[in-house]
Structures are given as structure tokens and as C-alpha cells.
Amino acid sequence: MGLTFVATPLGNLRDITLRALDALREAELIVAEDTRVARRLLSAHGIAGTLIWTYHEHNAATSTAAILERAATGNVAVVTDAGMPGISDPGSALVTAARAAGIAIDVLPGPTAFACAAVLSGFDVRRFAFEGFPPRTSGARKAAFRTAMARGIPSVWYESPHRIAAALADLASIAPDVPTFLVREFTKLYEQQISGTPAEVAAALPDPMRGEVAFVIDAGVVESAGAASGSLDDQIDALLAAGVSTAAIAKQLAASGAGERKALYARVGARRSEGAGATGAGTDEA
């Protein structure tokens, strides 16, 4: 009895563990992001007749109670369209609710796109950050990239094929030489791996752009990232436009070696008083 989170293939249907197949066969209910995707996977491995419910961001609030009721008396498997459930879908909320209800939870190891992208990049990923999807507006994206690079370690991102060109353009505008790696359609027939500067990676993408995307930024040297990110006032203005507080901006810039925190706080305050960054916030949807 309980919930079992089952990682599913990223593309190649053979990338599934024996334990995952056992869990899917034994499940009385499978909770899936998309029932069509789940049935294709089950059919490929000879599993038929299992009840499947949908569970995604639009119905999580209304379906959680019913799922937990089934998990209290039987085996419920949770899957996403590809990879580990709970990473970029509402699975984490289901874990929290199940734990509060005293329902057993298990997670079976398996495919995870961001970890694979990190290894494929060839960057030093003994430490790295998974950032998920960048913000949708240009100013907020630039601020997010600057924040990630200020940590001085590689960062891994997902992006929609419809927004990847804009994301790479924003990255190029603040860090034109930062080493970047992108993988498209990982494990699928038309997989593409690209390394280079943000502009070089963007130029190598197909037009029209299709497929799932993960990309890695190598900010292994904080000083290089800082030098590439433009003037200090430009950084401050972008962070102000993204709605970051004065104290948080001063702390971030101090950590990246831009100066003493107290002096930076005063400079950010002055830029805020002048209205810097206000006009760009939320006006440039990609």
C-alpha cells in the first residue's frame, strides 16, 4: 500500500528499470501527467488493463484527496510524461499531503534529464544548481542568469522550444562568452548536442525549433561571469526590474565580488530612487 513515484523514460522507452516495471504491473492505480503518454509506455512493456488517472497542475488541488484515499488501501504508482515525477510537476505537493496523512511513500531511482545534461556538458559538475525553467520576461531572465552565474558553479535549465532562442539571446547579452551546452530531444531519434557561446548554440538550433530542451551554463569562475555581465549599474537595474529587494541585490552583488555590501546597498538604493529598472519590468514578454 502507498504511493510509489516511478521515473519514466525521457524518450527511449527502453530506459526504464526492472523495479519500475514491477511497480507499474503491481499498481492498482497509475497517476499520470498525460494518460496517452502513460498508455504508450505501458503498451510498449506489455502492461494492460490498469486504471489511470490524470494528475497535473490544473487538477492537483481537486484530485489529491481521491488519490490518497486509493493509496491508503492499495498500490498507487505516480508517473510523469518523462523523467522523475515531482521535479517539474506538482508531485512534491502530493508527497507532502501523503506524508501528512500517514501514507507510505517510495521513490524509485531512474531517468532525470537535468542530471544527464549536467554530465553531458563536460563542465565541472561536482557542484551544480538545477534552476528549472527561466522566467518568461527578458528582464527577469537576465536577472536570473546573473544570479545563477554569481554562484560560481554550473547551472542547469529547462526551456520551451518556443522560448529557447529568446533565453539564449538574453544570456548572450549579459555573458556573451560564457561556455554553454544544450541538449535537445535527449535519448530520442533526432537528439542534438551543442557546445559553444550562447550565440553559437542558438545559431546551431533548427528552424523551426522543436523538441524538449535542457541547457547548462558554466559559471565556474565567478570573476569571468561578473566581467561578462556588463556594468554594475546594468546589473542593479536588471535586478530592480525583476522586483528583487535592495538588501537581496546588495547581498548577491557582494557575494559575486562586486564590492562591500554596505556600499552596494547605498548604490542600489540610489538607483531605486532614480527609478532605474522600473520601465523594463514585465514589459517584454518573450
Mean pLDDT for the chain overall: 89
Residue 280 lies in a domain: no
Question: What is the pLDDT at residue 270?
Answer: 86
Higher pLDDT, 193 or 282: 193
Question: What is the pLDDT at residue 49?
Answer: 92
Residue 193 lies in a domain: yes
Going by pLDDT thresholds of 50, 70 and 90, the confidence category of residue 79 is very high
CATH code (residue 107) = 3.40.1010.10
Q: Mean pLDDT, to the nearest integer, of 18-24?
A: 98
Residue 286 lies in a domain: no
User: Residues 43, 157: one domain?
Assistant: no
User: Residues 107, 119: one domain?
Assistant: no
How many structural domains are present in the chain?
2
107 burial (CB, 10 Å; 0-12 / 13-18 / 19+) is middle
> What is the phi-psi region of residue 94: left when phi exceeds 0, alpha when psi lies from -120 to 50, beta otherwise?
alpha
Q: What is d(CA 235, CA 23) in angstroms, rounded to the nearest whole number?
A: 49
User: Residues 161, 59: one domain?
Assistant: no
C-alpha cell at 81: 510524461
* Boundary of a domain, candidates 89, 111, 133: 111
Handedness of CA 16, 19, 20, 25 (dihedral sign): positive
Q: Give the predicted TM-score (pTM) of the model.
A: 0.74
Q: What is d(CA 241, CA 257) in angstroms, rounded to the nearest whole number?
A: 22
Residue 281 lies in a domain: no
Checking if the pLDDT of 96 tops 90, the result is: yes
Q: What is d(CA 154, CA 131) in angstroms, rounded to the nearest whole number?
A: 10
Q: Mean pLDDT, to the nearest integer, of 270-275?
A: 85
User: Residues 207, 100: one domain?
Assistant: no
CATH code (residue 150) = 3.30.950.10
C-alpha cell at 45: 512493456
User: Residues 28, 71: one domain?
Assistant: yes
Residue 285 lies in a domain: no
Q: Provide the domain limits for residue 72.
A: 2-111
User: Residues 177, 257: one domain?
Assistant: yes
* Boundary of a domain, candidates 82, 111, 140: 111
Checking if the pLDDT of 281 tops 90, the result is: no
User: Residues 195, 101: one domain?
Assistant: no
